[in-house]
Amino acid sequence: MFRDDVRYSQFSQSLGISNGLVAAGLMKSRAGAGAGKITGREYYLADKGWNLKPFEMALTQWG
């Protein structure tokens, strides 16, 4: 989640989730662009999502 993934499929694959992050306010989305054209949606962490980083890091170290 705290990597450079910007596509929802990248997040869902790396986190093992399907949906709900935007609805929960953890992520935001914007139109993606590549080579001068819109290429779909990009997803990024909202402030609420970044606030979970210490918790995620603690779980990673514990696990």
Q: Which residue has the higher pLDDT, 11 or 57?
A: 57
For the chain, the straight-line distance linking the first and the last C-alpha, in angstroms and rounded, comes to: 17
Tell me the per-residue pLDDT of 14-25, one tens digit each, with 9 for 90 and over. Answer: 665 656 778 888
Tell me, yes or no, if the pTM score tops 0.85. no
pLDDT in tens, 52-61: 889 888 988 9
Whether pLDDT at 4 is above 90: no
Burial class (CB in 10 A: 0-12, 13-18, 19+), 22: middle
